[in-house]
Structure 1
Amino acid sequence: MNRSPMSRSFRSGMPLLAAALLALAGCSPSQNSASVVSPAAAQVKPQSQVAVARGKIDVEGGLLELTSAAAGVVQQLLVKEGQQLQKGQLVLRLADDAARADVSVAESEWQLAQAKLKARQERLPALKTTLTRWQSAARQGAADQQNVDEALQALRDAQAEADIAGAEVNVAKRKLEQLRALQQRHELHVPEAATVVRLQAQAGSMLQSGSSVAVLLPQRPLIVRAEVNESFVSAIREGMKAQVSVDGDVAAGKQDLPSATVLRVSPVYGTARLQDDTQRGPVRIVEAVLAFDQPPVNAKVGQNVRVSFHE
């Protein structure tokens, strides 16, 4: 049976039409996906960096230096470098033989004064009773006024002696407290929890009053002190976020630290200590203090860092 040329042409064009339809179907999903993803991606805006500064990791208030409150020979040194100390822990004790002897004498004087006061006070009830009897006898005509006056004077004298003895007790007590306080100056305690960074005394060494004994790292959160160049000061404000990274190469590549937030910006200008310009001379900066948003791992006080401030 013979077929028309149009029929043969239609049949030969079918494969081409099917391929074109498949191609259109394959392109449609990707185009739809692009139309869905693009608006969401367009909403993501990268952070805008407004300033970069050099800084140094520190602890609020800085390192703590312990000094001796009294002069003397170190009798005991009870800590070592790297040791973590609790608040109130004893660091060292100076030889205090003379101070302990003075305290012992003062304790004896205080006890003696208390005994004298007790003896004076024990006389008062009997003298009061005697005065009452003479007064009763005088009212009944069995005694004259002179007896009453003598009994009254004896009571007044005894009361005055008791008052003086009481004052002597107070003086002896204050003296004892003073000597005990001086003796306590021969012991050095940690004012807050800290780690011993460096010891500057040893057992047997002679210390003067005010001599440095140890340098401590207080157990407080670490901060960053950044030197913001004067040209960027207007762009920095409290509450601004920043990225902190170690300034320099480390064994495992560049070490990134947790993000930080600006706590405060100094109201005065200063001279840079972490940067210089050999051509223009000293660089004027303003210090910005930042707090880490999370405790940094392996960060150390004194470590140089770079700070990137973001809007």
Structure 2
Amino acid sequence: MNKTLRLSTAYLAVAAAIAALLAGCSPSKGDLPASTAQAAIAATPQSGPAAVARGKIEVEGGLIDLAPGINGTVQQLPVKEGQSVPRGQLLMRMADDASRADLLVAESEWKLAEARLSAKTKRLPLVKTMHARWQNAAREGAADAHSVDEAAQQLRDAQSEADVAQAEVKVAQAKVEQLRAVQRRFELHAPEAGTIVRIRTHAGSQAGPAQTVITLLPQKPLIVRAELNESFANAVREGMHATVVLDGDAGNNTVALPDAKVLRISPVFGAAHLQEDTQRGPVRIIECVLVFDQPPAKARVGQNVRVTFHE
């Protein structure tokens, strides 16, 4: 029994010696090989985002509220909500019977004045030719000075009549252009291509310059208008990369959008509209506008988003 115990003790001593030798030959934790150290650095989590902010999807310049240029009754409304319209598309026409009648009369007067001018202009070369003939005849002794004077007077009269006719055409044309300008006030056209978002009137109702009747979403790229808290004022710069996600009401309903970059940063502070602090009161922010790298397919104007800025 004692012999067996002595052999076990000897074996344990040898094993301990071998373990100590191996430990001495192995590299310490602080002396890892270069490849292992680089791998460890690469696996180390990177620093956090430079800044975060809340924002809203908008279109450059905002929605366009349209109103008629004159008070009156809506006569025609040839568009509907959700319709895409090109620039210059007729959106609404007001009742303009009296104005249209005045325009028709003025256009007729313009045509009549042009007809008179044409007749006077065609007569003028004949009178000039007759005057020249009387002058040649007088030089040859075949006509007296009185006849030449009468021909000269006829030429002056014809020229004067042509000048008066030309002035009448200009007056008639100016009147037509003025009435056409008035006529345009009865019509509402799309100032640029876009989509009809809302119509707030109908045929037969009253409308005027103080009333928005149609809201147009212009066909422009969507942007993000973010509210950058004053604590991040110096952490964000133009051209910085950012990620954008839709911010659902529940806080966890997020949809990733295309990446964006900072287009411009406001030089002044303002009051927050998307952020609030019930304990500290109004939040001061700097407005930051971002543009998407590519058009977002799932974003709509007015949606709230969360923006994360990266170095």
TM-score interval, smaller chain: 0.7 to 0.9
Amino acid at match of 2:273: R
Instruction: Quote the offset at 1:272 in angstroms.
Output: 1.0
Question: Residue 39 in 1 paired to residue 38 in 2?
Answer: yes
Instruction: Quote the offset at 1:210 in angstroms.
Output: 4.7
Structure 1 residue matching 2:237: 3-state secondary structure: coil
Conserved in 2, the CA contact under 8 Å of 1:70 and 1:210? no
Structural RMSD (CA): 2.3
Instruction: Quote the offset at 1:46 in angstroms.
Output: 3.3
TM-score for both structures, normalised by structure 2: 0.82
Question: Partner residue of 1:69?
Answer: 69
- Runs (4+) of structure 1 moved beyond 6 Å? 34-38
Amino acid at match of 1:206: Q
Distance 1:139 1:110 in 2: 44
Distance 2:252 2:232 in 1: 32
Instruction: Quote the offset at 1:148 in angstroms.
Output: 1.3
Question: Partner residue of 1:240?
Answer: 240
Give CA-to-partner distance per residue, 1:247-271, whole Å, 9 cap, x none.
3356984322222111110111111
Amino acid at match of 2:38: P
Question: Residue 151 in 1 paired to residue 140 in 2?
Answer: no
Amino acid at match of 2:108: S
Q: 1:251 to 1:266 in 2, by over 3 A?
A: closer
Question: Residue 222 in 1 paired to residue 236 in 2?
Answer: no
Distance 1:283 1:251 in 2: 20
Question: Partner residue of 1:78?
Answer: 78
Structure 1 gaps of 5+ residues are 1-33
Question: Partner residue of 1:161?
Answer: 161
Question: Partner residue of 1:142?
Answer: 142
What does 1:267-306 correspond to in 2, within 5 Å? 267-306=267-306
Give CA-to-partner distance per residue, 1:156-211, whole Å, 9 cap, x none.
12101111111111111121122123223322222222222211111111112353
Distance 2:299 2:132 in 1: 84
Structure 1 residue matching 2:298: 3-state secondary structure: coil
Q: How many percent of aligned residue pairs carry the same amino acid?
A: 60
Distance 2:151 2:67 in 1: 62
TM-score for both structures, normalised by structure 1: 0.82
Distance 2:141 2:118 in 1: 36
Question: Residue 201 in 1 paired to residue 194 in 2?
Answer: no
Aligned pair count? 278
Question: Partner residue of 1:15?
Answer: none
What does 1:109-120 correspond to in 2, within 5 Å? 109-120=109-120
Amino acid at match of 1:127: V
Structure 1 residue matching 2:165: 3-state secondary structure: helix
Conserved in 2, the CA contact under 8 Å of 1:47 and 1:310? no
Instruction: Quote the offset at 1:243 in angstroms.
Output: 1.7
Q: 1:140 to 1:270 in 2, by over 3 A?
A: same
